[in-house]
Structure 1
């Protein structure tokens, strides 16, 4: 089969370039993985090697196992397409062990006869008329809800240390002498600003003037409008002014939006990877906390933990902005008055997790908020923190200042994909364009 040129488009979840042979595809990935090994954490390496050991048994993946892709000939070209668990199990024995390749970094299998053309797994007459398309089949049983408290060890704390927030996020410093301020934010607004409406710290003398700082910050036109003794940015002797930062920070207008571009100063980091943020407070929190001294991944993991929206972009060539990928199916349409069942929830979980395990599914982890939280169980944080997928120039998003010869590129979610992650489906109501 011709697998080199003029091939038809590859499925958007495949992660392959249309003109690539399977051997070239795997060679490119192996080169990328060689660079990743140097910064791989012990925890991730242990988990990855455990996956390799399990995969060496040669069994078809279970319902929570690795993703499966099949390479099939279509009009003299090899096309890489995903299979759901049911079809993967049905077709597993069509391929010999040498024709199955496991990738422990992506936790996925590739099934392709071209890996070992001389092998013959035998013909299965029952498969002649089978439909091997990618469809949704919910699992037969609903998994039990996890016991969050039982899953936490004694040393685990799922919450942030609130004592760090006033300084790291807002730059609050305690005045060295008694002071009175005209401006004060209401107690309930102050509690919401620090992220915990029940935080008792606001009642302690140490934070008596924090509501004053928050009030000044909310209406200040410049730093000079904030009392010097309350804000570290106004103090030459403060750490943020006196110490060398572990990251470089630029502010640029990209795609019409003011964004902060962050990159660690360490020479060991990939010079093309950059974090893009719209929040000045989060940018200063990164600087004050010293994140990024070891790697850019350190910053990524802290932002994941906080559920903050951000981008991990690759600085690359100035190519045209690609079109959004075509999203084939969501969760479907329900008739008016429809009552969801447990089967609907199983179907949602299956379809959502299948997308989150795709190469572009990593983008959901960077969305922050509810989307980022929902994605946390279905994505590999360490893999996501390595950088964008290989599809960014085909269906990603470009951030450009309108004049440079380079741009920042990242994976992007379509509105339909966000709806899928959040479990949104259309219900007929009799009212035009109303969506539930």
Structure 2
């Protein structure tokens, strides 16, 4: 099995000075070599590979490993931005959301292949990613390695071909899926450049000095989204979807890179300048992108014998003679000296004096960005300082008493989460807890806790019926997908660290409305699922063992030992892709982006087919129809309105001309009361059912979410009230399964008729009856405009949320709305 870190291939060396924190920043000695690290992992620090051991994967590699940091080159700097964990989630990136076992391999006659519809989806997704990834760097004013080579092309591995065996097809397609990771990194690097471009524009609007080069003034420049759209003929809605995906989320941990400061590519002036801005911007951003700098053998003199990159001098990341002597004198195979962040750079953790700004800042030959710390897309706190002495402990409320378990400092983060109370979920664990003394000093206390739960589950398994086991295994299969549970799914608990210095972790319910964001905040390695109790436990300390979790299986299958790949068959739909990639970028990906958006937004729900007729006559039973439509009860009214409606009006409202006279008289009274009513209490209980909560469908559980929002037209600034309807499992209202209605009567009609359970079923009934509605496709970033420029702008995201109606589906600018009063 391939590994996700360099630490698993070697025995752990002697390292008494290397702390067990998640993100290490400092200088360290490994053997006789000197290194510096920024937000690095302990496993890589303990087993730092040489340039020969961790060369950048080549496009010709049969089964490259993209989950380990390699030495960066100007040709492939985008490897820095490859995500550490499985990124294939969400509307756009979810096209690759498969495991090795559930890849849709289909038999066609005597051969096997990936399902042809899936092939087309992957092909469109690849074409769009390749084109956008190639063009984005060229739209920036920042220096970048112009010899960049994004030649990891998944199509070269032939995921569209046919194979003689099912095993051969599955293995080949799985290798292709891995090759999408460099494309992800390439596009993410381009968005990184664009984020800083937009930050400069915002700072210029505030009068803040810009980092833009003088020879490239900001005026008369085409916005990058417009330029990209015109160059590639790609739909703006596809770019919107890309910006809302994980490729533009700078809080997602990345693989990072190692940098050999002695290599020819780094020492040459042109290549060094092109890489310096990129590396410097990462160091200044605070993003979880680890960087490891290889200084070579520990110098015997006070200064290093070759040119030091200016970005390291500017940030005081160059080890001085005192730090070098300290590292040389420490015991162990690996010795570590931590650094702490300061506004002027970095300084030794034990130093009390602030660092002095480097003199090189005045004569840097590359332009310096301001200190822009990227605002998190999802709130995460900074890692625990490496010198923190307090032990971390778990705290579980049980039987009204505080049970606290010691948890020594480990590979963890200090999570500060504001968790509102939810629907009174039980927070007790179904296994006995040890006393603090029983586990004091244990390095893996959470393993002990979950081992006891596993023992309890084993006892339950022995008593499990076949039906219960089948249902539980179904839950296990669903959990392997790694998606957040819906409103009626599994419960989610978060182990959150207390805001005190005692280091305790408290298990709290996550809150039903927070499940999606919590699953995005915690990577797969920090989630634990219990199928017996149908519960998820989330904690940053769970990642200590390096496990990537059940749904991150990119490294769980190493096919180097598999020799049954089948034989390629002639393709009926596409010729074999040439191994030599074209040097020209794709210039027209509009058809591919259109099909990709259709895949995202026109697959209107994925539930089972409904065998009921699409249209049910509303007047099949007049009493029931009137009750469902109006809440009307055929009773004797004790209240006579001052005026009643005419018979023609009653017939029009009911939808029938031939109505019994008794009905007409009573309904005329009912509608007259409705005209005069100020609230529901003004309606006669004998005619109106809202007073009878036990009988009204309005007070039954609804299978969908309904909100009421004020939405403003971005063109004429007119404001209207919309009722927003979406499925329970997509309550964020991102995607096509969201309806907008303007009439409250239409919402009441949906509820009374019992249309559903999915939003797509509601839409079918609305269409058949001619009831107007809108489909909210997605939040449009292209149309977002900030109400005011924040004082510290770093990346896109701090804008007003917009609802882009029909984006990409007959898009019209007049259908674009922003919630009123939302900043």
Which range, TM-score by smaller chain?
A: 0.3 to 0.5
- TM-score of the superposition, structure 1-length normalised? 0.41
Q: Which has the larger radius of gyration?
A: 2
Q: What TM-score, normalized to structure 2?
A: 0.23
